[in-house]
Amino acid sequence: MVTRSNLLCILVLMVIVGLESVSASVYNENMESLVKARRSLLNNGLGNTPPMGWNSWNYFYCDVTEKVIRESADALVTTGLDKLGYKYVNIDDCWAEQTRDKKGYLVANRTTFPSGIRALADYVHSKGLKLGIYSDAGEYTCSHRMPGSLGNEEKDAKTFAEWHIDYLKYDNCYNTGLKPMERYPIMTRALMKAGRPIFFSLCEWGDMHPALWGSRVGNSWRTTDDITRNWDSMVSRADQNEVYAEYARPGGWNDPDMLEIGNGGMTYDENVVHFSIWAISKAPLLIGCDVRNMTKETFEIISNKEVIAVNQDRLGIQAKKVRMEGSAEVWAGPLSGYRVAIVLVNRSILPANITAHWDDIGLPPNTEVIARDLWKHRTLKKRLVGSLTEVVYPHACRMYVLKPVF
């Protein structure tokens, strides 16, 4: 098996020797071996890049209806967000009746989802999108308005497969004190037996450090408690998620919770920081606003193709904070094609000069690079050697991709 450290050594070696000692074919072979090894940890073949889509909870909470889901799916298509990778349309809590039917099966709420979930899945699929649903690894869901799946895992997994569900968010409320390491694998096995590949999102809130065990159970795992629509909540979730960077990989991703962009509570610059950090952290990009009524600014942020490309890069290595000086931070991570992505973040209320040094971000100090600014969509005219320095405004960031010149 090719490990992450093996791959990083290959990348650095190729830069140092100018590709003379290590051929591109060797690099590609090692890349493919690494990706295959990582995928094999959960045998559903999903999540080779972080999932992208939309989720109902952050904006609608329990006011979710069949109409909302259909119109949100429509909006992803009419805005072109689907073409950028936003494919999942995920129903969160409160979609079901409060009790199961006489045979013990979950039933969609007859008032808010009168057509049923299978018909809704057919509609979403007709748009070229995928449908996600929500359940809980306890006796009830977190709203206490729906039965949980504890003790009914096989029955519910079979139901979801028959409804043509593509994604399951699995929460952690009312769990009767059983450890998540005991409860979540039961649903994993049930999904594997259900006969349909379903992306499995563990919403365990980071309580029992799911990054340490989640890759053998699910395709993503929450590393934090719920996010709220403000700066302090957002950056604290980013910090908590960053601790587990080494555990992210194709097929399994750290999840600092859904995007709050478009929900108010943060400035334009703060939302740019939000999207930049989630992207470079290889976090799931799940829109949490009302996509039917987005502002131009919201759309401009979440539709930035260059930033999305960093998130969806096939190498699948999550960035880390490589330098912190007071409120100034440098986040960096390798990309395919020998490139490096960096985000310069200013948490201060005052402007700051922030420098990314090559020796912090994994490049030899004398490497010459071409720098691409992902938010200004321009390539710097001057090639850089050794470092990059920018003035960053308060609660703002600058994001670049650096490409070595060989």
Residue 45 CA to residue 27 CA, distance in Å, equals 23
Topology classification of domain 52-312: TIM Barrel (3.20.20)
Catalytic residue among 166, 171, 255, 313: 171
- Confidence (pTM): 0.91
What pLDDT is attached to residue 406?
87
Contact (Cβ atoms closer than 8 angstroms) between residue 121 and residue 131: yes
Catalytic residue among 74, 122, 225, 226: 226
Q: Note the pLDDT tens digit of each residue in 241-287.
A: 999 999 999 999 999 999 999 999 999 999 999 999 999 999 999 99
Which helix or strand (DSSP H or E) is residue 393 part of? none
Residue with tokens 């050594």: 9
Alpha-carbon radius of gyration of the chain: 22
> Any idea what DSSP says for residue 105?
-
Q: Note the pLDDT tens digit of each residue in 43-99.
A: 799 999 999 999 999 999 999 999 999 999 999 999 999 999 999 999 999 999 999
Contact (Cβ atoms closer than 8 angstroms) between residue 282 and residue 50: yes
The verdict on whether 171 is a catalytic residue reads yes
The verdict on whether 226 is a catalytic residue reads yes
> Any idea what DSSP says for residue 294?
-
Residue 209 CA to residue 57 CA, distance in Å, equals 23
Extract the tokens encoding 401.
Answer: 């991709």
Which band of pLDDT confidence, cut at 50, 70 and 90, is reported for residue 24?
very low
- The SS3 assignment for 330 reads strand
In single-letter form, the type of residue at position 211 comes to A
Q: Note the pLDDT tens digit of each residue in 363-381.
A: 999 999 999 999 999 999 9
- The SS3 assignment for 91 reads coil
Question: What is the edge-to-edge ordering of all strands in the sheet holding 253-255?
Answer: 253-255, 220-222, 199-202, 167-171, 130-136, 88-90, 52-55, 285-287
**HSE-CB of 297 using CA atoms within 13 angstroms:** 11
Break the chain into its structural domains and give their ranges: 52-312, 320-404
Topology classification of domain 320-404: Immunoglobulin-like (2.60.40)
Tell whether the model's pLDDT for residue 29 goes beyond 90.
no
What pLDDT is attached to residue 36?
46
Q: How far is CA 285 from CA 32, 136, 282, 307, in A?
A: 24, 21, 8, 11
Residue 267 CA to residue 303 CA, distance in Å, equals 17
